[in-house]
Chains A and B, each alone.
Chain A
Amino acid sequence: MKGLPPVLITAVVLVAGFALCAVQFPNIASTRVVGNLLTDNAFLGIVATGMTFVIISGGIDLSVGSVIGFTTVFVALAIERWGMPPLVAFVAILALSAAFGAAMGAMIHVFDLPPFIVTLAGMFLARGASFLLSTESVPITAPVYSTVSDFALRLPGGGRLTAVAIIMLTIVIGGALLLRLTRFGANVYALGGSRQAASLMGVAVGRMTVKIYMLSSLLAGIAGIVFSFYTSAGYSLSAVGVELDTIAAVVIGGTLLTGGQGSVVGTFLGVLIQGMIQTYINFDGTLSSWWTKIATGVLLFAFIALQQGLVALARRPVAKRVGAVS
């Protein structure tokens, strides 16, 4: 039952917020709007899934936004300038980003360094590398791109479930299963609970750390490909600051930033809440986009304060808690 109560609260906030929006603008409650919301936030959902693993394991990954930016530039150049078939370009960039994540994970473990700083260096490195590749926006004209962008499942009510939204939903479901049902997922929770205890229990801490950051970078790479589908271009400045939106989504989704607790489903709800705020602001028309930031900040505060309260409550009656768990 790890992390369930905060997820419930996130769900209640999402439903209540959506109901409020729907009362003011009845058109929001349509499959069209929901379909667009999923499409617009597809890349965010994918990175946030990876970030959930990292944060539950007690780490943080600041490099994801830069990896997305690098991926879009790399894919665009590989297809348009270097003449690679799109599929080969995708495989190459995914291998590259996975290796990048693995390297960061290895540095964190081998040299016993704080993840915050290592991934900060990774953020500079990936963004700098994408600037080196190209500083201008490179349009992608490959036929695969128009095929994928045009593909969509029709939903009742005129909405469209686009290919990128389907990719995102698949990854979210896959991530949730990986976290809940596999030994890997259990080890992620164990690492976040206590590194030392996990190690004593027989978890290969080093290998796990490498795998977790590899997963996060790999998903950031996939998010980058999805982002390039979404914009049909590669640009070195794309997805600047996405790491913050991602962390915010994970925290709003009820994952404890100290590690050990959280869920992919909650993160998905967190992404939806951010998307909902954005949609509301678009519908309203008079509110400016910066209200998104303020609203996200307020939500962040509310959720962190709530977690703090829950943790404090859980700590007080120790005897009772032990009884409840067993």
Chain B
Amino acid sequence: MTALLPRRGLAQILALIVILAVDRVVSPQFFDLRLQDGRLFGSLIDVLNRGTPVALLSLGMVLVIATRGIDLSVGAVMAISGAIAASLADTHSLAVVLAAALGAGLICGLWNGFLVAVLGMQPIVATLILMVAGRGIAQLITEGRIVTFSSPDLVWLGNGSILGLPVPVAIALGMLILTGAVVRGSALGLLIEATGGNARASELAGVGTRAMILAVYVWCGVCAALAGVIAAADIMGADANNAGLWLELDAILAVVIGGTSLFGGRFSLVLAVLGALIIQTMNTGILLSGYPPEFNLLVKAVVVLAVLLLQSPKLSGFAGVVTRLRRTKA
């Protein structure tokens, strides 16, 4: 399990604790939890619940970024899968709805992976295509309307509860464990990191880099599709224009906050999800504090800059000096 939560997670955990403490100051009831109708309620649960889509996206995104790629299309894929799920929900069973929506995500991921791995396009460019066209495709599916549904099965997926936890949170947790088990329980994670570290050297060493790249984009598409279904189930409808809008940026931000380098080569699933939670805790805190939600963007900008400066290779010399100073003091 040490591979799942490396020592470098300390900064992120501290950041989360600080933000939680600020939230507690802003809203004294922040840590209150109560059990009602077999489901936990409270601001903390709310943070987990609202953070689910970005957490799911970041699970896929972190693997893509580990191969030195990036996937800008996840927001559009969310819109597509949400549109499919909403249009099928009232006439088909949950299994069919899920299969269709996740299948669409798989196809989107295959397309991106094909462009990057087989045609050798730059990831930003390759996924930009689907980012632009994807929302158009989603609107094609919903015919430009906001499709609503009332299928209890799908609504449960967004609003129900399992063992006291909201279903979306349980799903995200399940996906984290599943992804972690597959990637870190085998050599797959190492091969992905190798691909990101130096694709050519890995190829020569016998790593199937193309297959790795294809696989991470496919997984990213599936995660995005799942996030799209949950987002649609949450509001009992699909809005092709706004579903998942700008969430690709949040997902990338979550991964970056989680300490995964944009230059590939190393990654941490748990920290990426933690990054998503940090973003959501900030959002919720700003909402609770009564500041206009527009403040979010400013705060996010400051956080991105801070994280960037911490990660900057130029500053690591400075950081080294600081640690040395600290050591001599202690």
Please report A residues at the B interface, Cβ cutoff 8 Å: 60, 107, 110-114, 116-118, 120-125, 127-129, 131-132, 135, 236, 244, 247-248, 251, 257-258, 288, 290-294, 296-298, 300-301, 304-305, 308
Q: Is B256 an interface residue (CB 8 A)?
A: yes
B129 shortest CB reach to chain A, Å: 5
Instruction: Give a binary string over B232-269; 1 marks a CB under 8 Å from any A CB, 0 the rest.
Output: 00000000100000000100110010000011000000
The answer on a CB contact under 8 Å between A244 and B131 is yes
Which chain A residue lies CB-closest to B137?
A294
Which chain B residue lies CB-closest to A60?
B124
Residues of A within 8 A of B294 (CB): 128, 131-132, 135, 236
Among A112, A244, A290, chain B packs the most CB atoms within 10 A around the CB of A290
Which chain B residue lies CB-closest to A245?
B132
The answer on a CB contact under 8 Å between A125 and B297 is yes
Residues of A within 8 A of B256 (CB): 117
The answer on a CB contact under 8 Å between A244 and B304 is no
The answer on a CB contact under 8 Å between A128 and B309 is no
The answer on a CB contact under 8 Å between A292 and B136 is yes
Residues of B within 8 A of A297 (CB): 129-130, 132-134, 136
| CB pairs A–B below 8 angstroms (16 shown) | A116-B70, A116-B124, A117-B262, A117-B304, A121-B305, A124-B301, A128-B300, A132-B295, A248-B132, A257-B122, A257-B125, A290-B139, A290-B144, A292-B136, A293-B136, A297-B130
Residues of B within 8 A of A296 (CB): 132-133
Given the known interface contacts A117-B304, A131-B292, the answer about A125 and B140 at a Cβ–Cβ threshold of 8 Å is no
A298→B122 CA distance, assembly (Å)? 17
Q: Is B296 an interface residue (CB 8 A)?
A: yes
A167→B136 CA distance, assembly (Å)? 31
The answer on a CB contact under 8 Å between A111 and B312 is yes
Residues of B within 8 A of A123 (CB): 249
**List of 8 A-B pairs having minimum Cβ-Cβ separation, nearest first:** A297-B133, A293-B136, A131-B294, A128-B297, A128-B298, A290-B139, A124-B301, A294-B136
Given the known interface contacts A124-B300, A127-B297, A128-B296, the answer about A304 and B129 at a Cβ–Cβ threshold of 8 Å is yes
The answer on a CB contact under 8 Å between A121 and B132 is no
> Other than the known A131-B292, A290-B135, A300-B128, what 8 A-B pairs have Cβ atoms closer than 8 Å?
A112-B312, A114-B263, A117-B256, A124-B297, A244-B131, A244-B132, A291-B136, A308-B119
Residues of A within 8 A of B190 (CB): none
A244→B135 CA distance, assembly (Å)? 13
A54→B256 CA distance, assembly (Å)? 24
A128→B297 CA distance, assembly (Å)? 5
A282→B240 CA distance, assembly (Å)? 21
Question: Which residues of B in the span 106-141 have a Cβ within 8 Å of any Cβ on A?
Answer: 119-122, 124-126, 128-137, 139-140
The answer on a CB contact under 8 Å between A257 and B301 is no
B242 shortest CB reach to chain A, Å: 11
The answer on a CB contact under 8 Å between A111 and B129 is no
Q: Is B315 an interface residue (CB 8 A)?
A: yes
A275→B253 CA distance, assembly (Å)? 33
A128→B144 CA distance, assembly (Å)? 29
Option from A114, A251, A291 in Cβ contact (under 8 Å) with B262: A114
Residues of B within 8 A of A131 (CB): 292, 294-295, 297
A301→B128 CA distance, assembly (Å)? 9
Option from B121, B144, B309 in Cβ contact (under 8 Å) with A308: B121
Which chain A residue lies CB-closest to B306?
A121
The answer on a CB contact under 8 Å between B133 and A294 is yes
Question: Which residues of B in the span 273-299 have a Cβ within 8 Å of any Cβ on A?
Answer: 292, 294-299
